[in-house]
């Protein structure tokens, strides 16, 4: 008990000394930040700046450079599609519009996104060269797009569709790759001189519903406007889109058919009636001969001959109308 009583007064000073010792030790291990210190740049976005009460952090905004590598394109094409030092990225269907001629310069590259394609309603002239072909391909085609992390596959985009009024379309030294159906044309009067069709999904080339066998090599198909003229199509029909004039010709031919039929039936009935009157006037019946003279006989004969000519004209008109109407469905 005496020993405990003697030691107790020493405990408090000992604790104070130990606390002071540990405080000094911890203070030596901790760095303090003053208003003159500088924060290190750990993110490449914060500039080393002396910290004061008025200090503001400077942040460098970094934007994605991907869009700088392409020109976006969609909708109706201009009269001339210029070749650039970077590809066009097709973000929506593009179209060569009706009653227009669109020229694509050599070396032009189109990178198509999913579910997009090229429609030819007017006249499209895509003439590349051996050294600078025109390329229609997937946006993920690494041979022309070094900035994609994906791989191109068939069915990546729709393909090229030439409508029936796209007569005279020209694709020369063009490459079509990774689409659904390559090139599909409703008209046979197009010019492929040459094209390379590769890695397309369902088909490479379909013309007027018929699939043509192609390979990865260059493919030629030449049946141009000149051939269309030689097949009987008027040359001035090609000054603009063929569709409107074809429809107009169809309605005109149908009207000729209907008119010829009506006129032919009417002329035929009148011819039979006049011919019957002429036979009666030529009989030996005295009662009939007393009531007519030579002028009556001549008048009826001329009327009969006129109706016969009308029947022949109606038959010719019917033949022309049927031929013309059938022709409008051929092209």
166 within a domain of the structure (yes/no): yes
- Domain endpoint, select from 197, 221, 236: 236
**Interval 89-96 mean pLDDT:** 97
Q: Are residues 188 and 301 in the same domain?
A: no
Q: Are residues 222 and 256 in the same domain?
A: no
Q: Are residues 93 and 190 in the same domain?
A: yes
Please give the full DSSP string across 42-92, using - where no structure is assigned: -SSSB---B--TT----B-----SGGGG-EEEEEE--SEE---SSPEEEEE
Total number of domains in the chain:
2
Q: Are residues 161 and 114 in the same domain?
A: yes
| Residue-number span of the structural domain to which 134 is assigned | 66-236
Tokens of 242: 């063929």
Q: What rounded mean pLDDT belongs to the chain?
A: 78
Q: Are residues 228 and 80 in the same domain?
A: yes
pLDDT score for 25: 45
Please give the full DSSP string across 245-261, using - where no structure is assigned: HHHHHHHHHHHHHHHHH
The answer to whether the beta carbons of residues 123 and 102 sit under 8 Å apart is yes
- Domain endpoint, select from 236, 261, 288: 236
20 within a domain of the structure (yes/no): no
82 within a domain of the structure (yes/no): yes
pLDDT score for 279: 78
Looking at the chain, the number of H-run helices and the number of E-run strands are 5, 16
23 within a domain of the structure (yes/no): no
> Distance between CA 284 and CA 109 in Å, rounded?
92
Q: Per-residue confidence at 278, pLDDT binned at 50, 70, 90?
A: confident
Angle at 155 between CA 151 and CA 159, to 5 degrees: 115
Q: Are residues 231 and 298 in the same domain?
A: no
Which residues does 147 contact at the CB level (< 8 Å), separation at least 6? 66, 69
Tokens of 141: 């085609």
Q: Are residues 198 and 92 in the same domain?
A: yes
Q: Are residues 297 and 245 in the same domain?
A: yes
Q: Are residues 187 and 80 in the same domain?
A: yes
- Domain endpoint, select from 187, 208, 236: 236
Q: Are residues 133 and 224 in the same domain?
A: yes
Q: For the segment 14-31, what is each residue's pLDDT rounded down to a tens digit?
A: 555 554 544 444 444 434
49 within a domain of the structure (yes/no): no
Q: Are residues 182 and 254 in the same domain?
A: no
Handedness of CA 167, 169, 170, 174 (dihedral sign): negative
**Interval 182-198 mean pLDDT:** 94
Q: For the segment 150-180, what is each residue's pLDDT rounded down to a tens digit?
A: 999 999 999 999 999 999 999 999 999 999 9
Tokens of 114: 């999913």
86 within a domain of the structure (yes/no): yes
203 within a domain of the structure (yes/no): yes
120 within a domain of the structure (yes/no): yes
Q: Are residues 104 and 185 in the same domain?
A: yes
The predicted model scores a pTM of 0.52
Among 58-72, 131-145, 241-255, 292-306, whose mean pLDDT is lowest?
A: 58-72
């Amino acid at each position: 008990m005496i020993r405990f009583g003697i030691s107790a007064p020493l405990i408090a000073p000992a604790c104070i000394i130990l606390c002071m010792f540990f405080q000094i030790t911890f203070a030596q291990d901790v760095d303090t930040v003053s208003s003159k210190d500088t924060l290190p740049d750990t993110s490449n976005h914060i500039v080393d700046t002396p910290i004061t009460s008025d200090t503001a952090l400077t942040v460098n905004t970094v934007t994605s450079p991907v869009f700088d590598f392409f020109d976006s394109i969609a909708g109706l094409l201009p009269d001339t599609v210029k070749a650039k030092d970077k590809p066009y990225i097709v973000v929506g269907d593009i179209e060569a519009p009706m009653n227009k001629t669109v020229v694509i310069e050599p070396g032009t590259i189109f990178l198509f996104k999913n579910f997009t394609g090229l429609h030819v309603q007017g006249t499209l002239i895509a003439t590349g060269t051996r050294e600078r072909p025109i390329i229609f391909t997937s946006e993920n085609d690494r041979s022309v797009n070094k900035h994609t992390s994906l791989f191109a596959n068939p069915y990546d985009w729709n393909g090229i569709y030439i409508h029936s009024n796209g007569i005279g379309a020209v694709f020369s030294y063009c490459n079509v790759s990774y689409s659904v159906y390559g090139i599909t044309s409703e008209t046979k009067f197009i010019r492929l001189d040459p094209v390379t069709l590769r890695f397309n999904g369902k088909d490479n080339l379909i013309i007027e519903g018929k699939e043509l066998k192609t390979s990865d090599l260059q493919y030629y198909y030449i049946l141009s406007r000149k051939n269309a003229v030689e097949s009987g199509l008027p040359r001035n029909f090609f000054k603009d889109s063929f569709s409107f004039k074809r429809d107009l010709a169809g309605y005109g031919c149908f009207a000729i058919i209907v008119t010829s039929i009506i006129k032919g039936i009417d002329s035929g009935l009148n011819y039979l009636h006049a011919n019957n009157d002429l036979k009666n006037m030529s009989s030996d019946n005295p009662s009939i001969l007393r009531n007519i003279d030579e002028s009556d006989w001549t008048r009826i004969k001329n009327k009969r001959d006129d109706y016969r000519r009308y029947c022949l004209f109606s038959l010719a008109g019917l033949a022309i109308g049927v031929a013309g109407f059938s022709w409008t469905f051929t092209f």
